[in-house]
């Protein structure tokens, strides 16, 4: 069978989130570590690659029997879902069944209505030497808590039995992400997120209603 299923939802920022942009040409006095932004709107974004990489890393801890030095060495259920650049017996790389899209801010208007005009904040931090007590200040830009981003994934269906197994893995990945962090400096309180309103529906081909219901029930467990 051939079908594609779209998975949509909302990613809410619970604590300030930092996914870095380019600061190579920053002016003197500018923020040391800016966030990545959409060149058209100037609003912060969450790259799909950041979400995919973090989820895969967390799932590798759960599903790999041994430590995999590279993502290509992950267990088969993960390489089937996320893909692998390692060439197989036929000399081909393995395309993943999941397609991640960049996440764009979708509640800017709501935030402005309550008086929030800036979608990012600048957090001032200091690094203090333990031996000399010298202080090195730095400025980290973060997406503000309460910002919401539209989540969009496309899943390519191989067969319905495999789809249910893959959605179980996907559910675990989403759940692990909520108990970890996204972006940098998670050990210092950054990047806690909450996923909500997750829903899956076929957009190409047909998938039985029973299987779609089962997959959506898995997403509701997050």
Q: What pLDDT digit, counting tens, does each position of 171-199 carry?
A: 999 999 999 999 998 999 999 999 999 99
Pair 63, 74: CB distance under 8 Å: yes
Q: State how far the Cα of 101 lies from the Cα of 108, in Å rounded to an integer.
A: 19
According to the model, what pLDDT value does residue 26 have?
Answer: 45
According to the model, what pLDDT value does residue 73 have?
Answer: 82
pTM of the model: 0.88
Q: What residues in the chain have per-residue pLDDT under 70?
A: 21-32, 88-91
Pair 59, 98: CB distance under 8 Å: no
According to the model, what pLDDT value does residue 90 have?
Answer: 65
According to the model, what pLDDT value does residue 63 have?
Answer: 93
Q: Which residues neighbour 220 within 8 Å (Cβ) at sequence distance 6 or greater?
A: 198
CA 152, 11, 167, 182 torsion: positive or negative? positive
Q: State how far the Cα of 63 lies from the Cα of 56, in Å rounded to an integer.
A: 10
Cβ neighbours around 153 below 10 Å, total: 19
According to the model, what pLDDT value does residue 91 have?
Answer: 64
According to the model, what pLDDT value does residue 131 have?
Answer: 84
Residue 44, both tokens = 């912060």
The structural domains of the chain, ordered by start, are 3-19+37-113+145-220 (3.30.70)
Pair 153, 99: CB distance under 8 Å: yes
CA 72, 221, 11, 180 torsion: positive or negative? negative
């Amino acid at each position: 069978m051939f079908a594609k299923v779209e998975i949509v939802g909302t990613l809410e920022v619970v604590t300030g989130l930092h996914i870095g942009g380019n600061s190579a040409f920053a002016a003197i006095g500018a923020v040391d570590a800016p966030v990545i932004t959409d060149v058209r709107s100037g609003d912060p974004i969450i790259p799909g690659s950041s979400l995919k990489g973090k989820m895969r890393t967390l799932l590798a801890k759960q599903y790999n029997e041994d430590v995999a030095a590279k993502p290509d060495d992950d267990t088969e259920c993960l390489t089937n879902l996320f893909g692998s650049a390692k060439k197989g017996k036929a000399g081909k790389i393995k395309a993943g069944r999941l397609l991640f899209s960049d996440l764009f801010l979708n509640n800017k208007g709501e935030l402005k209505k309550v008086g929030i005009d800036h979608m990012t904040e600048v957090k001032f931090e200091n690094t203090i030497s333990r031996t000399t007590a010298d202080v090195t200040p730095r400025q980290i830009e973060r997406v503000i808590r309460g910002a919401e981003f539209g989540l969009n994934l496309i899943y390519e269906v191989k067969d319905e039995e495999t789809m249910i197994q893959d959605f179980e893995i996907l559910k675990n990945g989403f759940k692990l992400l909520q108990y970890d962090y996204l972006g940098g400096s998670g050990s210092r309180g950054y990047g806690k997120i909450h996923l909500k309103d997750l829903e899956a529906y076929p957009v190409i081909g047909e998938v039985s209603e029973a299987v779609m219901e089962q997959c959506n029930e898995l997403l509701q467990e997050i």
